[in-house]
A and B are shown apart, each in its own frame.
Chain A
Amino acid sequence: MKNNQPANIIVHDIRGQICPSCLLYTLREINRQKAAFKEGNTRIIIKTDNRDATTTIPDAVSSMGYECLVEKKKGYYELVIVPHRKKTIH
């Protein structure tokens, strides 16, 4: 039976950091995890308080063929980058 839960979850807490840390670190991490993403068992979670990052990151990762789910948490936003297309949360 196939397990839906990814084995590898990488969390980056970039709250409070200087712009454009979020986008830079996300792109670097995606490039690092390219092989793992192909296998489909990895997801990257970005915690950010930068409103602009919720626009730039989904835009950048979708052009790379990945999907980004954006969710508002208490006082910050959580961006989940997955290797396959899923419906984005508004």
Chain B
Amino acid sequence: MYRADFCVAGTFRDFFLFRKTVMLRALLLLIVGTMVLFEILRQLSFLPLYPFPLLGSPSLANVAGGILFGIGMVTAGGCVVGTLYKMGGGSVISATAFIGLIAGSGIYAEIHPWWSGIVKEFTFFKGHLTLPQAIGCSPALILIPLILVSVFFFMRWQKQNKWHLTSYVEGYIQPWRAALYLALLGTLSYLLVGMPFGITTAYAKAAAYLTKLVAPAHVAQTAFYKAVPLDYSAPIIHVQLLGGAGPVVDAITYIQFPLIVGIILGAMIAALRLGEFKVYDRVPARQYVSALAGGVILALGSRMTPGCNIWHLFGGLPILNMQSLLFLAGLVPGSYIGSKILVHVVLSAGAKATP
């Protein structure tokens, strides 16, 4: 991700600000590539958990979460994963957003009971998780036409040479190649762990541990920290896995924390090897405020949806999960609003020029 600069926040932001579409094409390739791999595995009965755990019935609240998520990821300068790999590369702005992400997760824990009521109130197609389930047809019936149309466009873009980006940086990985790597990794995760990549419950768990240091009794009584949403039998090892945001070592600790540490360390190693790791902190104060506030909004969006862009775009959309479709419906306008805030508020003052 570091070497390709595979930034999902930048993908949407740069489309709205500069009409740059090359990363949107790469993102579509990632989604459709994952769709193909998931469907092949499903047809071969390699996915006993289909749809995968932690998904819920669709609710209009997913759209609201997506809007907040879009605003947050653009103003924070990266999504929940982009923040990690940029921080690994030495970005102080992303480290600030990381603090905001943990703080925002802690704030959400306090409003969780109120928000849960809203989610329930606006839930529809109760018990149906994916679009094929809601329509009552086989997933292949919708997925195959979607894949065929996408492949048509992919080949057209290939003819128009629209996949390749000219880059002058060392060790650059073309975004289309990074998209295919990420599709393969996500599929591997589904196959081995029983679900694709997710990361944000770990942020909430970190918030729980920190809050516990100052208010242990409060954490013990907080409904959000007491809940155990992850409860499933893992494939291959056939062990019951339980996990939640509470400050205890559970399946979330084993599944999501290594991913967070791995992304930060992986990016740090890549940056060090390329001689690019350097910490610059002389950044306008307005940008620190944006990163911190963006991180908080991003965390609130991810908890309120629930789920992040990696979970929904890289995992949920390929199986046409309805929460993911609604999240995307919110993410697009949210990113637009975030882009406008970034240009007109955060970056309205020019950088200092030294003639």
By a beta-carbon cutoff of 8 Å, the part of chain A in contact with chain B is 8-21, 23-25, 28-29, 49, 51-52, 54-56, 58-60, 70, 72, 74-77, 88-90
B239 at the interface (CB under 8 A from A): no
With contact pairs A18-B290, A20-B17 given, residues A54 and B93 touching in the complex (Cβ less than 8 Å): no
Residues from chain A with a CB closer than 8 A to the CB of B92 are 16
Residues from chain B with a CB closer than 8 A to the CB of A11 are 353-355
Interface members, chain B 1-53 (any A CB < 8 Å): 2-3, 5, 7, 9-10, 13-14, 17-18, 20
10 A-B pairs with the lowest CB-CB distances in the bound complex, closest first: A16-B280, A75-B278, A70-B168, A15-B280, A18-B77, A52-B5, A18-B287, A25-B351, A51-B169, A11-B354
Which label, helix, strand, loop or mixed, suits the secondary structure of the B interface?
A: loop
User: Do A49 and B90 touch across chains, with their CB atoms under 8 A apart?
Assistant: yes
Residues from chain B with a CB closer than 8 A to the CB of A54 are 167-169
User: Do B351 and A21 touch across chains, with their CB atoms under 8 A apart?
Assistant: yes
Known pairs A13-B351, A13-B352, A89-B168 / 9 extra A-B pairs, C-beta < 8 Å:
A11-B353, A12-B352, A18-B347, A25-B351, A29-B353, A52-B5, A54-B168, A55-B165, A77-B169
Which label, helix, strand, loop or mixed, suits the secondary structure of the A interface?
A: mixed
With contact pairs A51-B276, A56-B20 given, residues A12 and B169 touching in the complex (Cβ less than 8 Å): no
User: Do B351 and A56 touch across chains, with their CB atoms under 8 A apart?
Assistant: no
Residues from chain B with a CB closer than 8 A to the CB of A17 are 93, 283-284, 287, 351
